[in-house]
Amino acid sequence: MTSLVEQSKKSAAYQAVDDNLKPSYKIIGIGSGSTVVYVAERIGQLSNKSQFTCIPTGFQSKQLILSNGLKLGSIEEFPNIDITFDGADEIDSDLNVIKGGGACLMQEKLVASCSKKFIIVADFRKKSPTGQLGVNWRKGVPIEIIPASYTKILKELKEFGAVKAEVRSGGSAKAGPVITDNGMFIIDADFGAIPPAEVSKLHNKIKFLTGVVDVGLFVNMVEKTYIGEENGSVSTMGN
């Protein structure tokens, strides 16, 4: 039986595709994670799917494109993307989002930054109850870094006020750190609740640190969010 969370991911993804995928579009960015699975599934059901070229944001995303019978392209060939659909770990009241819970943030940001429209699909747990980031998502802000820089960056993040910062471990699936699709490490840095007005400042400070590849704070990039609610409806924020 499909769980409530799973059903809400599917409803949000299907509605986002149905509302936003115009017949004139040619290039679509496909994000990463468990919600975007339903975006690729929905696009794969369209009779005109062969007109779209899909740009992946990592290994899992590439597999989703291929397994749904969609045409695969690369960001090098197609840096002008009509629309990108992606998931999020938390969404604030200004539509800033935390991403990278699945260690895919760098390629996601690259594809999003090349997109005319960036749409987020998520289940009801992802909307911040207070409008701030770092409230429901308590694991910290994901930061992709060059492996040799981790000691230096952990120290700097603590100087910036992180109450906790650590290199993400592979847990029982891998001894040692998680390695991203780009061969990098991920640090999760907990700054507590981040007010919307502070997100950009924090992002810029972290991004400026030598060794940081990118930060899982997406500021002023999201045009619209689709959230699958517990009652089965889909709510939207943005235009």
Ligand X SMILES: O=C[C@H](O)[C@H](O)[C@H](O)COP(=O)(O)O
Q: Identify which range of 11-19, 45-53, 85-93, 158-166 contacts ligand X by CB under 6 A.
A: 85-93
Q: Which of 6, 77, 90, 108 is catalytic?
A: 108
Among 12, 43, 91, 103, binds ligand X (CB under 6 A): 103
Q: Rounded to the nearest whole angstrom, what is the least distance from the CB of residue 17 to ligand X in the complex?
A: 15
Task: Report the residue number, 51 or 99, with the smaller CB distance to ligand X.
Answer: 99
Among 70, 104, 111, 141, binds ligand X (CB under 6 A): 104
- Is 102 a binder of ligand X (CB under 6 A)? yes
Task: Report the residue number, 82 or 86, with the smaller CB distance to ligand X.
Answer: 86
Q: Is 198 a catalytic residue?
A: no
- Three-state DSSP class for residue 43: helix
Q: Rounded to the nearest whole angstrom, what is the least distance from the CB of residue 193 to ligand X in the complex?
A: 19
* CB of 118 closer than 8 Å to CB of 226: no
Q: Identify which range of 69-77, 101-109, 151-159, 224-232 contacts ligand X by CB under 6 A.
A: 101-109
Number of residues that bind ligand X (CB under 6 A): 17
> What's 17's DSSP letter?
H
> What's 70's DSSP letter?
P
Helices vs strands, H then E, count in the chain = 6, 14
Letters for 36-75 (x = contact with ligand X by CB under 6 A, - = none) are ----------------------------------------
Q: Identify which range of 99-107, 148-156, 157-165, 228-236 contacts ligand X by CB under 6 A.
A: 99-107
| Phi and psi, residue 15, nearest 5° | -70, -35
Query: Residues of 91-118 as b/e, b for ≥16 C-beta within 10 angstroms?
Result: bbebbbbbbbbbbbbbbbbbbbebbebb
Who's near 76: CB < 8 A, 6+ residues apart?
none
Task: Report the residue number, 87 or 140, with the smaller CB distance to ligand X.
Answer: 87
Query: Residues of 120-154 as b/e, b for ≥16 C-beta within 10 angstroms?
Result: bbbbbebbbeeebbbbbbebbbbbbbeeebbeebb
List the catalytic residues.
Answer: 108
Kindly list the residues in this chain that would bind ligand X in the complex (CB under 6 A): 31-35, 86-89, 99-105, 108
